[in-house]
Amino acid sequence: MLTRDQIFATNDLKRETVDVPEWGGQITVEVMSGAARDAFGQATADSAKSPSFFEAALVVATAVGDDGKPLFTADDIPLLQQRNAAVISRIAAASMVLNGIGATATEDAEKNSDAALSGSSGSDSLAS
């Protein structure tokens, strides 16, 4: 059984590097902490927010530098909305997969949950 100290000594914020040739390099996105996810949820809670706002806010919430510190602040959302939409969408898509956000992530989680509850891998056929 893990101890409290062992749990807090780990870095469980998984990262992924996204190629951004349009910007001449790469950007790193990571799994949001609980606090970061709360802040992202508050920033995007208004259903009147545009898709570009949602994606820019997600990039702000997940993009980190080599030192692990955020690359952007909430003040950068309007600036990111003015950047190439395809680039922002690509970075946001990687963040969504990494953070389990979106319809596909929800469907995958439900399939995994159903398989775990039934003791099945999800690929077994029904017995007759």
- Give me the domain span that covers residue 86: 14-117
Q: Match 């469980």 to its residue by tokens.
A: 12
Query: How many independent structural domains does the chain possess?
Result: 1
> Which SS3 state, helix, strand or coil, does residue 48 take?
coil
Q: Would you say residue 3 lies in a domain? A: no
The Cα–Cα gap between 19 and 80 comes to: 17
Q: Is residue 9 part of a domain?
A: no
Cβ atoms of residues 50 and 41 within 8 Å: no
Backbone φ and ψ of 103, nearest 5°? -60, -45
Span 3-57, pLDDT tens digits: 999 999 998 889 999 999 999 999 999 999 999 999 999 999 987 889 999 999 9
Note the pLDDT tens digit of each residue in 62-121. 999 999 999 999 999 999 999 999 999 999 999 999 999 986 654 554 565 455 444 544
